[in-house]
Amino acid sequence: DAGVIQSPRHEVTEMGQEVTLRCKPISGHNSLFWYRQTMMRGLELLIYFNNNVPIDDSGMPEDRFSAKMPNASFSTLKIQPSEPRDSAVYFCASSLEGGAPYNEQFFGPGTRLTVL
């Protein structure tokens, strides 16, 4: 398996522009997570999907952020409009939840976002 795939790996944009980050989870996994990593706040869970349905979006910073999972093999995280404080590394992770609670999350390589 190719693992979790994220694109793009790097994104540089200007303040006010729309940014879309993409994720393909591992085939067969039923859960998908979006995280944000910054020096100040560490790893933060933004949103959790189970069977393509958003279960917990309490970590989404504000209305400028939105996430979708139209099918089991694809998810997007959109920021509009983007601001410099959104600069961070965004990770997507997937797992098989609902069975053993100790199933690990598998992380993608991340997207490094820089908003100028």
Contact residues: another protein, CB under 8 A: 4, 31, 33, 42-43, 45, 48, 50, 55-56, 91, 93, 95, 97, 100-102, 104-110, 112
Find the shortest distance in angstroms from Cβ 102 to another protein: 4
Q: What are the tokens at 94?
A: 């997937």
Find the shortest distance in angstroms from Cβ 43 to another protein: 4
Query: Cα–Cα distance between 106 and 83 in angstroms, integer?
Result: 28
Query: Cα–Cα distance between 9 and 1 in angstroms, integer?
Result: 19
Query: Cα–Cα distance between 113 and 109 in angstroms, integer?
Result: 13
Nearer of residues 4 and 79 to another protein, judged by Cβ: 4
Query: Cα–Cα distance between 92 and 88 in angstroms, integer?
Result: 13
Nearer of residues 52 and 64 to another protein, judged by Cβ: 52
Nearer of residues 28 and 63 to another protein, judged by Cβ: 28
